[in-house]
Structure 1
Amino acid sequence: MAERSNVDRRRFLALAGGGTLATALALAGASSGPVWATPRFRDNPFALGVASGEPTPSGVVLWTRLAPNPVAEDGTGGMPGKAVNVAWQIAEDPAFRRVVRSGAERAAPELAHSVHVEVEGLRPDREYWYRFRAGSELSPVGRTRTAPSAGAALSSLAFGVVSCQSYPDGYYTAYRHLAEEDLDLVLHLGDYIYEGGGQGSIGRGHLPAAETFSLTDYRIRYGQYKSDADLQAAHAAFPWLVVLDDHEVENNWADAISQSDTEPDQDPAVFLRRRAAAFQAYYENQPLRRTQRPHGPDMRLYRRVGYGRLADFTMVDTRQYRDDQACGDGLRSDCTERLDPARTMLGQEQEAWVLDGLERSHATWKILGNQVFMMQADHLEGDAQGFGMDTWDGYAAARRDLLAGVERRRVDNFVVVTGDAHRSTAADLKVDFTDPDAPAVGAEFLGTSISSGADGQDMDDLGRIWLRENPHMKFHNAQRGYMRCEVTPRHLRTDYRVVPRVTVPGAPVSTRASVYVEAGTPGIAQVDA
């Protein structure tokens, strides 16, 4: 074993220096261009950390991005306009005595010197450790885990759910606690960055200081966010499945339509150029596969990942294919447009793909990773009703069609996990929310933000209204934190993990409630609060 380790170490150094790199790069389809043959970095080129994602039974994606100056004003991360050879290793132990795969990728300026390694040939349901080398510099070590084989009968699975991490609003304390959990996977459901120029009041103001529009702007913003040590710790601890929402581009965008806010409505062609820049920066900074690399303003993000016979994760995209928000967006009490059956949230192709996959799944639990909440949420007390037009409430007929499809196709154990709202709610999902006696067809767990909305509180006025006016809602909390979900063949439990404050660092974490769904019985079964 020692002899093998020495050979692997020598090969690792040779690859970083270029030894057998030409063949490796040709197989990887990397771009050819001027290469910085002997890179010497003034500062740590791995200042943005490492990450992994997209696990399968035989492989995983490894990510890093070379950026010795992550917030350099030109968006280069402090790198020259030359490619750099980056070697990588993946091992069965954190000391890298048992290296099982290694190779090299070229980090090119066209993709902000990011690296996306699609490792294959690994064993299913196994822990691995990985690292990178550029020149004489070594990256931090990351831990990852492959998915179980397709037919594996698992006794349990644990995953985290996170979203909404406005940098100026608060510290990423929740991520530090998340990194200490025992998880197989993390789902990030959107709002990884915020596009605005907010400066906040805690000394974490946005860079650049103005709203992001260009590729340079978005690259700087990601450089700032990903420099956070707590976020890096969470990325390095587990593989992630990520999907974007609105703020990675612009608040409340819909397909090719921009939001009318601080600037006039943009011509769709102008907005699509902005969307293309935002998508490229998103890809550059996430552990995604080459199949997810954007083509201009288009990026295929909906996909499915299986975890044995226990769970299937279906990640949807509720931004690229939706119709514009009804009635001019916002909170509306008299909007009939939201009931139009011609309006779509997912688009016909994606909706058919979702329902077909749910119907064909042989997994016990069918878990949908979703950006904006699906449950009905009346925001007004008494006989009047008010609904947000950016959520599934603004696409009520499309929601009814989707949930009716789940019911008609007899999809059992259907669970939706959602971000965006900066609050936590557990609710039954129904085809007809107007009938309190209508049966549930599934359950939704809405998770709060990591930092967006600042400290929050255990209960607020909107939470009290939601629980009074929406009998299908079973729990509410408005603090910051994340969801920890444990799945077994008999039940799915969601622990709402909360921190009391994010405007100062170092807050403790606690479980505010544990909410259960029992296999074979749609809807929320029990709340331990």
Structure 2
Amino acid sequence: MRDQFGRRHFLTLAGAAAVATAVVPEARATSRLGELFTLGVASGDPQPDGVVLWTRLAPEPTAPDGHGGMPAKRYQVTWEIAEDPRFRRIVRRGVEHAVPEWAHSVHAEVHGLRPDREYWYRFVVGDQISPVGRTRTAPAWYSSLKGLTFAFASCQAYADGYFTAFRHMADEDLDLVVHLGDYIYEGGNRGTIGRAHLPAAEVFSLADYRVRYGQYKSDPDLRAAHAAAPWVVAPDDHEVENNWAGDISQIDTEPDQDPAVFRERRAAAYRAYYENLPLRRTSMPRGPEMQVYRRLTFGNVLQLNVLDTRRFRTDQLEQCAQNCDGRWDPARTMLGDRQEKWLLDGLGRSRARWNVLGNQIFAFEADHDAGASERYGMDTWDGYAAARQRLFDGVVARDVDNFVMITGDAHRSVAADLKLNFSDPASRTVGTEFLGTSISSGGNGADMDSLGVTWLAENPHMKFHNSQRGYQRCVLTQDAWRTDYRVVPEVRVAGGPVLTRAGVTVEAGRPGVADVS
């Protein structure tokens, strides 16, 4: 049973960190630096016996050199994890070192905890104590569970709007948060609401990527959401560059860029991503390579397969329409051979009720043209139709039950049936996709727009559409899955309410959308 410690009380305590500790020898030195924990705390990738605890020391998060105002020396960081938010029952304690090579970030991999339990954690450096974070371990492998509640989100352009959705997410009673990419945006953007990007221009260097993360993570609503629940994260394109593919840069902005130059940029981007998020050492980048795809299991309710849909894909095609054969080329891949095999083999072995893909770009077919003509986006799975068909055929061949994809990127919400043959509405439904809107990217949006009207008219497998901002709350039981589309109507002004625009239900054993209410 969950601790009844109030959510808002917890957030107040987390912000104040009103606890006491003994002063260590380097206390005076750290005090002179200023507040070290300006970027907050986070936890991630929960397992039954532990989680990753994260923080980064940065008294000046947007200092132009990317070092966050820290001297070029290593600092001892003590972490503590307790069974209560006031740390009367500390169950684990350890020491990590924050080093300048990794922007003074800390990734403490904690083990020896109990499965399916709430814990609270904090960090200590000298006489400074971090905010308090709340986390939760995963249930024991395939243990019997009644249910699970998590949220998923993506696309948080700092200059486009406030992160109000994250503040509301922090108030939810969540077991987990899944972030599906576009945690930062790499371009220069002044916006119109006084949240211009730092640095002002597009970022390429490690120092500039670090500054951009420092700016984003200084947002109090984002920090609150990180402190409230463990996160599972994966990058999409904007953490590096818009619409990149493999070793290929976006062609319209840098047409003459050598792949070797782009790999250097990706190495900087991956490094900054790792430094600022609660990832395990298995995801620590090695130059331009980083292990993104991985699998997490939550009792017998959820198997979560986190995908990497950028690093191994074939380059995007030019825009193609109805008779475009290229997107059906079997040599084209979205996941690469190794990841595709890993995914299908894991799905085939799963004993979880719900088999889920944490997926960056939507997989349902989306005809963008009204009438007889057809037009598809080439950056999504529509541009890799043969690869999508292999995936769906593999799901059918392995008798994968309750197949669900959760997706970001598109700055709009859609609930859709996944069809074995999208050109035939009577074709077999193999699963369900929940496309989630942006946190702030694109500004306020609207309940319905012209593209939404076209999509619903031309794509009968789509059952719900909305293009406002917000996040998705998913409530899973053994019998059903409900996704509540939580929308924030106004993101260009700080604060504001959240409301549930729709609840979309899938029944276990019956693939596809069962109800929209």
TM over 0.5: yes
Checking the alignment, whether the CA contact within 8 Å between 1:326 and 1:335 is kept in structure 2 is: no
Checking the alignment, whether the CA contact within 8 Å between 2:411 and 2:437 is kept in structure 1 is: yes
CA distance, structure 1, for counterparts of residue 294 and residue 254 of structure 2? 34
- Match of 1:326, SS state, is coil
Correspondence list, 1:112-511, <5 A = 112-327=103-318, 330=319, 332=321, 335-511=324-500
- Match of 1:192, SS state, is coil
CA distance, structure 2, for counterparts of residue 170 and residue 332 of structure 1? 34
Q: Does 1:42 align with 2:38?
A: no
Deviations 1:296-322 (A, max 9, x none): 100011001000011111101000000
Query: For residue 32 of structure 1, what is the aligned residue in structure 2?
Result: none
CA distance, structure 1, for counterparts of residue 120 and residue 279 of structure 2? 18
CA distance, structure 1, for counterparts of residue 25 and residue 240 of structure 2? 37
Deviations 1:10-69 (A, max 9, x none): 99758x658xxxxxxxxxxxxxxxxx9943343211000000001000000000000000
Query: For residue 13 of structure 2, what is the aligned residue in structure 1?
Result: none
Deviations 1:425-483 (A, max 9, x none): 00000121011100100000000000000000000000000000000000000000000
- Match of 1:40, SS state, is helix
Deviation at 1:367, TM superposition (A): 1.0
Checking the alignment, whether the CA contact within 8 Å between 2:249 and 2:259 is kept in structure 1 is: yes
1:85 pairs with one of 52, 67, 76: 76
CA distance, structure 1, for counterparts of residue 256 and residue 129 of structure 2? 46
CA distance, structure 1, for counterparts of residue 322 and residue 262 of structure 2? 30
CA RMSD, Structure 1 to Structure 2 (Å): 1.5
CA distance, structure 2, for counterparts of residue 17 and residue 150 of structure 1? 43
**Cα distance, 1:292–1:464 mapped onto 2, change above 3 Å:** same
Deviations 1:131-158 (A, max 9, x none): 0011111100000000000131111100
Deviations 1:472-519 (A, max 9, x none): 000000000000000000000000000111001111000000001100
- Match of 2:274, SS state, is helix
- Match of 1:181, SS state, is coil
Deviation at 1:337, TM superposition (A): 1.2
TM-score by length of 1: 0.92
- Match of 1:55, SS state, is strand
Checking the alignment, whether the CA contact within 8 Å between 2:142 and 2:351 is kept in structure 1 is: no
Deviation at 1:265, TM superposition (A): 3.5
CA distance, structure 2, for counterparts of residue 17 and residue 419 of structure 1? 47
CA distance, structure 1, for counterparts of residue 69 and residue 325 of structure 2? 52
Checking the alignment, whether the CA contact within 8 Å between 1:436 and 1:472 is kept in structure 2 is: yes
CA distance, structure 2, for counterparts of residue 265 and residue 418 of structure 1? 32
Question: Which residue identity does 1:454 align to in structure 2?
Answer: G
Checking the alignment, whether the CA contact within 8 Å between 2:142 and 2:301 is kept in structure 1 is: no
- Match of 2:391, SS state, is helix
Question: Which residue identity does 1:106 align to in structure 2?
Answer: H
Deviations 1:217-258 (A, max 9, x none): 100000000000000000000000000000000000000000
Checking the alignment, whether the CA contact within 8 Å between 1:70 and 1:220 is kept in structure 2 is: yes
Question: Which residue identity does 2:401 align to in structure 1?
Answer: D
List runs of 5+ in structure 2 lacking aligned partners: 1-18
TM-score by length of 2: 0.95
Question: Which residue identity does 1:403 align to in structure 2?
Answer: F
**Cα distance, 1:368–1:161 mapped onto 2, change above 3 Å:** same
Deviations 1:191-221 (A, max 9, x none): 0000000110000000000000000010000
Deviations 1:256-288 (A, max 9, x none): 000023333310000000000000000000000
- Aligned pair count reads 499
- Match of 1:524, SS state, is strand
Query: Percent identity over the alignment?
Result: 64
Question: Which residue identity does 1:258 align to in structure 2?
Answer: S
List runs of 5+ in structure 1 lacking aligned partners: 1-9, 19-35
CA distance, structure 1, for counterparts of residue 346 and residue 203 of structure 2? 36
Query: For residue 12 of structure 2, what is the aligned residue in structure 1?
Result: none
Question: Which residue identity does 2:514 align to in structure 1?
Answer: A
- Match of 2:510, SS state, is coil
Deviation at 1:332, TM superposition (A): 4.8
Deviations 1:170-203 (A, max 9, x none): 0000000000001100000000000000110000
Checking the alignment, whether the CA contact within 8 Å between 1:54 and 1:241 is kept in structure 2 is: yes
Question: Which residue identity does 1:227 align to in structure 2?
Answer: S
CA distance, structure 2, for counterparts of residue 89 and residue 233 of structure 1? 19
Deviations 1:403-423 (A, max 9, x none): 110011110000000000000
Checking the alignment, whether the CA contact within 8 Å between 2:364 and 2:381 is kept in structure 1 is: yes
Question: Which residue identity does 1:304 align to in structure 2?
Answer: R
Deviation at 1:326, TM superposition (A): 1.0
Deviation at 1:335, TM superposition (A): 3.2
Query: For residue 16 of structure 2, what is the aligned residue in structure 1?
Result: none
CA distance, structure 2, for counterparts of residue 17 and residue 91 of structure 1? 25
